[in-house]
Every structure is written in structure tokens, then in C-alpha cells.
Structure 1
Amino acid sequence: MTQRQELLDFPGAEALQAAGRVEPPAPQAVAQALAAVQAAAHQDSPQPPVVASPGRRRLAHGRRILATAVAAAAIAAGVVAYNATEADQPVGHPKHQAQAVSAATFLDHTADVAYARPASSARYWKVRSKASHTGAKPSPAIDCYYARSMDAVYIVTGGRTHKKPGTFGWRLGPKELHSWNDLDRLPTDPAQLLTVMNSSKEYAGQSAFLQAGALLGESPAGPKLRAGLYRALARLHGVKLVGTVKDSAGRTGTELVFSGVVSTDRMVIDPKTSALLETSSVSTKGSDRGKTTRVTYLSVGPTDKIG
């Protein structure tokens, strides 16, 4: 039984289950971006011809410099558009300019945003989420409140509160995390986090991607740990940037994908807040091949009261 199934094991749960505009950057940021682009343009001096068509070669060289400068300046200004990166696209391809940002760059930028978020001292951590599975009726959203001790979870639905006693938490490699203090004791260094999350030999990489997603989506991980998890994903081989998408709730985010041993897994992240909006997994092997499991995090954050 999964943790979500355990949480829904209360009277009435069966009936219950049946039942962007982006603000413009600051003028100073725009000025810095323009300065970076102009500096790159000045560096584009003619080069001695080494191969045929030197004019075309100099043009390509200039475009490469400008594309790099534009990407770097846009990231500094916080206005970069994150799209998929295809290394084999020739310079001059229509998508080349918009696809200058890699998954690692996006994740490192997201880590900076996460690090700047305030830490929480609230009594509870509230997760409002909705799960869906291929072939099953859509489940309604549920509100879960995790107390700091994690010895019980309070589930609010239909105006009623159900207390679910027991031991709840998350995993990070072989570590079981059963309280907020356990999260605070985790390393925040990306390399150390990757070592712990990659402890599975068979599912290394995929295991890290899924565990990081669970912690970022549901847990009350502090700013330093959240930043460390994003930086760990930035260093995880196999993570690819898909680009700007809409999640199942219609919100705009940036999608990442990891093709693992038994499934293809995805995350949708809001780059402005560093919040994980949605995770999904499509089975690629066995009798469940082609089936999708999706969890949409409608709102996640601290609160001092239930309801």
C-alpha cells in the first residue's frame, strides 16, 4: 500500500474517490543584459579564413558568441525562456536562440530561487494534491497536514477532518525520514545528496530523480535542502530539459524528463517560485506498460492551523 493509499484509508474515502503573465524585468536588469550582448558583439572580430567560405564561418562564430551572451544575460535578469536543448541543431536553426539553456543551467537557477525562500517555523505543513492514474476515475483533491513530529497526518475533505495516526515520512536512499528534524539533518551538498539518492545499483539515477521529486513536492524541506536537491538534479546524468508546458491544472511551468529502467518520469517546475507543480510517470515495461501515474501539487506550504 502506498503512502497516499494509507492516507485515504478512512470512512468515506471510497465515496470520495468515486465522486501566465510574467512581470517585466527591472530596468537595471535589462541594462545589464544589453551590456552583455553588446560586449559579445564587440568580441566578434573577423578571424583568418581556415576553411572554405570564411564569411559564413565568421557569421556562425558571431552567432555562437551572441547566443551565449544572450542566454547568460537573460539568466542574470531572470527573464530567460527555458526550452529544450538539442546539441545537434545547427547555428541559425529557428529554435537555436530560444534553446540556449541547458537542464543544468535551469536547475542551478531554480536552486538559487529556492535558497532565497524563507524558512518555516509553522506548526504544520499543508499539501493539497490530486492524483490520477490511467484507466481510473480522477480523484478529487485532498488536503494533508503534517505535524512536525510526523506521528499523524490530518486529512481534510468535504469539510471534515480525519486524523490518520501512524508513522509517515519520506525516503532518501536508505534513510527513512520521519520528522522535520530528520530533514534538517540531511546534507545539503549536491554531491553528497546524489551519493545517498543513487544508492540503488539497478535504479541509480531514476531513484534519485523520483526521490528528489517526492521531497521537493511534498516535504517541508528547508531552503538549503531544496536548493541542494535542485543542484543535485543539475548534476544527475540523464536529466533533460523539455521546455515550457502547462500542467494538468493549467499552470505554466518548465518540464524536465528522465528516462529510467522501468518508466519515463517527468517534473514540472515553476521557475519563478521554485515550486514543484507536478510529477508524472509512464511505465515502459511489464503489464503496466503505457500507464501513467500523475500527482499534481495544487498548493504546498506552511500553516499554523488545520482547515
Structure 2
Amino acid sequence: MTERQDLLDFPGTEALQAAGHVELPSPQALAQAMVAVRAAAQDEAVVTPLRRRRLASGRRIVATAFVAAACAAGVVVYTNQGAGSPTAQAPQQAKTISAATFLTDTAAVAAAGPMPSGQYWKMHMKVTYENGKSSTFDEYISRSGYHIVDGGQTFKKPASGWRLGSKTVDWNGLDQLPTDPAKLLEIMESSKEYAGQSAFLQASSLLAESPASPQLRAALFKALAGMNGVKLVGNVKDSAGREGTELAFNGISSSDRTIVDPKTSLLLEATQTSTKGHLGLIDRRTYLSVGPAEKIG
């Protein structure tokens, strides 16, 4: 086998060669591919005599990660059993990692995302209330207030904002927030409410419902990575049938779970289950679509 044949001897090479010219992958796909490449390179860093004879196999692992980027279709699968590093591969072959590693990887995807634009930040969401009833509506957030469009009717509400520590931050204040994860975490935990549970909820709310910049989103994911008590549940489907990775935080008054799409860093769903008082009551917000809009309707 020639050196060229040896380098091309990896899973997916036939598809890559058959594809010929492909368009450049998105920044999110590139960020994911780099995560996989770093993981593969680290995995090959410790070379035993046996593995030294199989060094070409290591090159194939790295090359396989690049196939995912070239085809812009690689998906990193995460589970919560044991420890390890993420790789772009089939679900049944996925390695297992910690919540901190997953959140750090997702921060890289968020940092490569687009800068929010538009007059409004639109959320098409389904809310399931504690009594089991649900409502699907659109919410348009602006710098001066927000509108709810439900059943063909539009309701205007005054501007409120997002909780951060003991304060409330509006759209204008988002760009004033620090992008240092440690400082963000310090602010979110400053209220001392529910012993850290409030920080998990506040970060999730900002990531799901605010027009935060890519830099702020990345910092929020890294802040969550630095929190104690955040658990990686693994790969799940949300109530709308979409695949994502679930994170959990078991607090004093409730068990909070958030499902993240690792390909885009968008939050798909947030669920809060009461563990104090009215046990078992569930409040769920499913974010069917989120993004900028120039007008209402």
C-alpha cells in the first residue's frame, strides 16, 4: 500500500472522493470538526510501542474527523457513562465525556455563530404548564418591549429583561455584560438564591430567549461548565421529537433539565419539575424556532 493509499484508508473516504467538490462547511460545522480533531490528536499523544507501529491508524482517525467537516454533516454524540473525549462517529461508537467537556465544546460552536440582527428577537414556542395544559405562540422581543402573538391576536407588554444575579438585564444591557466566564458565574451566583440553582436557570434563560452575541453565548456555556452540580444526561429527544443533548441540575426546589442542540448550540427545551411543595409538577418550554425578525407577523 502506498503512502497516499494509506492516508486515504479511513471510514468515509469513498464518500469524500465521490463527492468531488463540496461547499465550505458552516462555522458551526468547522468548530465541531476542530473539537473532534483535537480529541483525536490528544488520543494519539500517548504512543506505546504497539501504537507506534500503528501510527498511520492515528492519521486515519484525524482524517475521519475532517470528512465530517468536508461534508458538513458530522454529529458529535454525547453520553454520560464514564469518561473520555467526543468524536465524530456513529452513536453506538460514541465515547463518553463530562458535562464540563460538552459545555466547553458547545461554547466553541456558539462562538462561531452569527451575530443577532433585526428589530425583533422572535421565539416560536410551546409552553406546557403545571396543570398539563399547553399553549403554542410567538413572542417578539424588542428594545422597548415585547409582543405576544397567540391565536391571531397580538398583545403588547412592557420591556422586562432577563435575570442575572439579583438584577434584571434588558436588550440594551446584554452588550455590557462581561464575557469572562468566571465573572459571569460570579454575577449569576451573587443572589445566593437556591444555592446555585438560580445560576443554571439564568444562564439557560439567556441562552434560550435572548439575542445574546456569540461571545456572550460562548461565555455562558463556559460559565455553566464551571458550575458544580451540572450533570450530563446524554442524547435524548425533546417533546417535539428533535435530537439533542440533555443537561440536568438538581436544586433545592426543583429538578431542572435543558436540551441543547450540539450542532448549533441552540437550546431546544427547558423543563422544571418541582421537588418541593407540589411534587411532580412540570413546567416545560419548547423552543420550536428562535431567531431575528424585522417585523411582527
1:111 corresponds to 2:114: no
Change in 2 beyond 3 A, CA 1:116/1:35: closer
Aligned to 1:142: 137
Structure 1 segments, 4+ long, off by >3 Å, are 24-40, 73-79, 95-99
Deviations 1:192-248 (A, max 9, x none): 000001113352321110000111111111111111100000111111111110001
Give distance in 1, aligned partners of 2:43 and 2:199.
Answer: 41
- Normalised to the residue count of structure 1, the TM-score between the two structures is 0.71
1:126 corresponds to 2:122: yes
Gaps of 5+ in 2: 1-11, 17-29, 51-56, 84-90
- Normalised to the residue count of structure 2, the TM-score between the two structures is 0.74
Aligned to 1:268: 259
Map of 1:143-182 to 2, 5 A cutoff?
143-149=138-144, 152-164=145-157, 166-178=158-170, 180-182=171-173
**Aligned to 1:255, which of 246, 264, 268?**
246
Give distance in 2, aligned partners of 1:212 and 1:303.
Answer: 23
1:207 corresponds to 2:211: no
**How far is the alpha carbon of 1:44 from its aligned partner?**
2.5
Aligned to 1:63: none
CA RMSD in angstroms comes to: 3.4
Are 1:85 and 1:241, in contact at CA under 8 Å, matched by a contact in 2?
Answer: no
Are 1:110 and 1:274, in contact at CA under 8 Å, matched by a contact in 2?
Answer: yes
Give distance in 1, aligned partners of 2:42 and 2:143.
Answer: 49
Aligned to 1:184: 175
1:204 partner SS? helix
- For these two proteins, the number of residue pairs brought into alignment is 249
Aligned residues with identical type, % of pairs: 56
Give distance in 2, aligned partners of 1:293 and 1:110.
Answer: 25
Gaps of 5+ in 1: 1-23, 47-65, 88-94
Deviations 1:17-50 (A, max 9, x none): xxxxxxx89969699589748945x71248xxxx
**How far is the alpha carbon of 1:190 from its aligned partner?**
0.4
Give distance in 2, aligned partners of 1:32 and 1:117.
Answer: 20
Aligned to 1:43: 47
